[in-house]
Amino acid sequence: MLVNCDLGEKTREDPELFRFIDLANIACGFHAGDALTMDKTVVACLEAGVRIGAHPGYLDPDGFGRKDLGVPPETLRAQILYQIGALEALVRSRSVRLHHVKFHGALYHRLAGDYELARLILKAVRAFDPALRILAPPDSSMSRSARELGLEVLEEAFADRAYHRDGTLVARDREGAVLDGQAAIARVEKIMAQGCIDTVEGEVLKVAPGTLCLHSDTPGVVAIARGIRRLL
């Protein structure tokens, strides 16, 4: 399994973090980040051998992209291409190419549940670059539409977030929504050993992810990433 991490969302991430991840999802300036932060994160990824992906979200810096803004489909399509293109320019200036796209926050959840919108957005991504992989929840509208369009999908599980039995994430404003260090590492151990996740309802969710996600703003994320790398 690969480890992916949301990056470029604050002024500076701990450089140690890059040692323990495989894929970086770099914020593209809408929910967080700016041109210089994006460029510095690209450089850090290249120095560590981390593959680079775009992390587009809603134009919502105050809410960190975690509120569904209900943006009209054609506006959203243009905004997504705008963000991916901005990061692609920085990446290509250093003679590499983008590896993947992972949508952020409320946009990720909207596309996971809205087949028609996911198909519209992913057709635009395919037109931009059909070699881009899509990080998506298992058995979601996003993963299904991506495969139908011929895009490679990396299904993911979240190492540091609590789940409901239907596979959705527990809202961040609820206690226990973000897992601490030992809980996150135990989550990964169970995925590896049993192929499942314990949900907040006390039921078990079957998973077989190709990649595990960490958030760079999770407390103790470097220690979590180090522990997961040891397991893998």
Q: How far apart are the first and last CA of the chain?
A: 7
Q: Which residues contact 171 (CB under 8 A, 6 or more apart)?
A: 177
Q: How far is CA 33 from CA 4, 29, 46, 179, in A?
A: 18, 4, 18, 24
In single-letter form, the type of residue at position 198 comes to D
Lookup: tokens for 38: 């994006």
The pLDDT of 93-106, averaged and rounded, is 97
Residue 11 has pLDDT above 70, yes or no: no
Q: What is the predicted pLDDT for the residue at 148? A: 98
Q: What is the predicted pLDDT for the residue at 10? A: 72
The pLDDT of 8-37, averaged and rounded, is 92
Q: What is the pLDDT of residues 176-223, one digit of tens each?
A: 999 988 999 999 999 999 999 999 999 999 999 999 999 998 999 999
Q: Which residues contact 76 (CB under 8 A, 6 or more apart)?
A: 107, 117, 121
The pLDDT of 71-99, averaged and rounded, is 97
Question: Which class would CATH give 2-161+209-231?
Answer: alpha beta
In the chain, where are the structural domains located? 2-161+209-231
CB 29 within 8 A of CB 73: no
Distance CA 37, CA 9 (A): 8
DSSP conformation letters of 71-112? --HHHHHHHHHHHHHHHHHHHHTTT----EE---HHHHHHHH
Q: What is the pLDDT of residues 24-59, one digit of tens each?
A: 999 999 999 999 999 999 999 999 999 999 999 999
Q: What is the predicted pLDDT for the residue at 14? A: 87
Q: What is the predicted pLDDT for the residue at 9? A: 86
Q: Which residues contact 148 (CB under 8 A, 6 or more apart)?
A: 119
Q: What is the predicted pLDDT for the residue at 50? A: 98
Q: What is the pLDDT of residues 57-80, one digit of tens each?
A: 999 999 998 889 989 999 999 999
Q: What is the pLDDT of residues 100-159, one digit of tens each?
A: 999 999 999 999 999 999 999 999 999 999 999 999 999 999 999 999 999 999 999 999
